[in-house]
Amino acid sequence: MENLHLNILLLMGIAIFGGTLGARLFKRIRFPQVVGYIVIGLIFGESCFSLIDQAVIDKMSPFNFLALGIIGFMIGGELKIGLFRKFGKQFLIILFAEGLGAFLAVTLLVFISCLGLNTLGLIALDWRASLGLALLLGAISSATAPAATVDVLWEARAGGPLTKTVMALVAMDDGLALLLYGLCASFSVTLFGNGDSSLLRSLAVPLFEMGGSILLGTAFGLLLNYMIRRLREHDNALTFTIGAVFLVIGCARLLELDPILSSMSLGMTLVNLAPRRSTSAFGLVEKFAPPIYVLFFVLVGARMKLAHMELWVMVLAVVYVAGRTAGKIYGSRWGAGFAGASESVRKYLGICLFSQAGVAIGLSILASQQFTGELASVGQTIVIVVTASTFLVQLLGPPCVKMAVHKAGEANVNITIEDLIATYTVADVMDKNVVTIDEYAPLVKVLDTFSENDYLCYPVINRSGEFVGIITFQEIKNTLTRNELQLLLVAHDLMEPLKDNAVVTDQLQDTLERMASIPIDYLPVFDSPGSRKLAGFIDRTRVMHAVTAEILRRSRKAEGFA
């Protein structure tokens, strides 16, 4: 038994380490990290080296639910009541438009394809079985996988109307898929002539699952808010938050509810009850989660099997993906236009909804369990087609999301001051129009320079235009209060020697850290190492004001104000 545990731990380490390396490689070629995780999983899985087989995947399934729960929790943290008050009606219109668009397109195309394949003798399904299969695949196609989509949005630091809409829709798509599946499963069984399930019961089951999931998450959200309100240490906040996520996922599994929807309700309740106090809780979970995400997506890749796919499966998988893609794109475009959404939402929302995994695969497995005996071929066909198409959309979906948020101008919007500073060089923030003082300028001229400009520090240059020192307001003040030979002084007598300098290509983060360690608030900037020619000047206070203003501008854009 110990060896088995050791093997699983070893494989977890290989998966996390290898997945992270794969993500870095794919990031270098401008692909989202999640694609790297999935491809590494594909290499480790049965499609290639078989390091991770189905038995290991089954034993590690709790990590899948944990990852989905954390993703649901973080999505809930983005869904504030103010957002739904402002855009709730718009979200619902778009949800039904893109979900029903995919449902109708897939149903129609799969039904026609099944009839054609039956005529060619590639499959043995009559029109009733073909219609039932098409309806079930259509219902499943409305679901969108939140994990890969949200991971790309976080990686891109995206924020804005498009990002908010995507976050809301991937959280609600699962509910719509459950409702459509319940209706279509009931109709399909009746269509085959051996159904005993009423329409009311078919609706009641998914409605119970959705309502129960929301109530479960809300209840634990109230409890977690109560606990966090009385905590002082960050470590305890993380422990209680992760513990609440575990409890919600475990209870959801026990009660056969949706773990994503339950966790999302937990996060949504917490962020709306305690918008300020919950910020640290979400931040702590975000730092805790990356290894779990890596393991989750590596397992997604390992689960995919590319060998032994028959021609008719490939045909149906391509038809399914084509119909779902067209339905999502044109449905979301029509819905966004009808709801009066912003141009970025109308143009790019559809291509953000390609990813599909957890709920779709779960519903396909449910179909295989529901349709047995003479109908077993329908259930098995659904599993095979959904699994095959999942491979395609999981690889195509993340790059499409990345492209969409960049084209919409919403990438690198939802960032912190530290994130922004890390992207800047000194040249990006330095004052290039530097007011300088000649080293032999008399005191009167120096005072005129201070009175005519609003800086508290000025660089001093010699006759060759080279930097030789700095005059600060404090030095002027000290001189005027204690020096009896004021009128005889020149700038050279007042200046301080150079303590440090920066070059235009230096990273701003490193430069600010050096300034803090000396400490100094002002720094001359040269074109190259060893040069004494001024290219610019850095004032720490002005830099921080500029960075803060840029963060505010991006934050307003992320909230849809600009």
Range of weakest confidence among 105-119, 382-396, 472-486: 472-486
Question: For residue 4, is pLDDT > 50?
Answer: no
Helices (H) and strands (E) in the chain, counts: 24, 6
Report whether pLDDT(463) > 90. Answer: no
Instruction: Give residue limits of the domains in the chain.
Output: 18-414, 421-558
CB 74 within 8 A of CB 286: yes
156-166 pLDDT per residue, tens:
888 788 888 88
CATH number, domain 421-558: 3.10.580.10
**pLDDT recorded at residue 561:** 41
CB-CB contact of 214 with 261 (8 Å): yes
- The amino acid sitting at 162 is L
The yes-or-no verdict on residue 503 having pLDDT over 70 is: yes
Report the pLDDT value the prediction gives residue 331, as an integer from 0 to 100.
Answer: 92
Torsion of Cα atoms, 325 then 297 then 57 then 214, to 10°: -70
The CB density around residue 303, as the number of other CB atoms within 10 Å, is 23
Q: What pLDDT digit, counting tens, does each position of 197-227 carry?
A: 555 665 666 677 778 888 999 999 998 888 8
Share of the chain above pLDDT 90, in %: 6
Residue 291: asked if its preceding bond is cis (omega within 30°), the reply is no
Which tokens sit at 129? 């079985």
Q: Are 106 and 143 in contact (CB under 8 A)?
A: no
Closest of 2, 63, 470 to residue 300, by C-alpha: 63
For residues 130-151, give the mean pLDDT.
82
Chosen CATH of 18-414 out of 1.20.1530.20, 3.30.70.3270, 1.10.1530.10, 3.10.20.740: 1.20.1530.20
Residue 61 CB-density burial (10 A; 0-12 exposed, 13-18 middle, 19+ buried) = exposed
Give the pLDDT band of residue 558 (cuts 50, 70, 90).
Answer: low
Comparing 245-249, 370-374, 404-408, 526-530, the range with the smallest average pLDDT is 370-374
Say if residues 438 and 458 touch (Cβ distance below 8 Å).
no
pLDDT tens digits along 331-349: 999 999 998 888 888 899 9
Chain centroid to CA 118:
42
Q: Which of 106-115, 150-159, 439-448 has the lowest mean pLDDT?
A: 150-159
Pairing of strands 502-503, 522-526: parallel
Give the per-residue SS3 of 167-202. HHHHHHHHHHHHHHHHHHHHHHHHHCCCCCCCHHHH
pLDDT tens per residue, range 235-291: 567 778 888 888 998 998 888 787 878 888 898 898 888 777 777 777 777 777 788
Residue 5 has a pLDDT of 43
pLDDT band at 104 (very low <50, low <70, confident <90, very high): very high
Q: Give residue 1's pLDDT.
A: 41
Mean residue pLDDT of the chain comes to 79
- Give the pLDDT confidence of 289-320 residue by residue, as tens digits: 788 878 877 877 777 665 556 777 778 888 98
Question: Looking at residue 335, what is its pLDDT?
Answer: 92
pLDDT at 358: 63
Q: Is 30 left (phi over 0), alpha (psi -120 to 50) or beta?
A: left
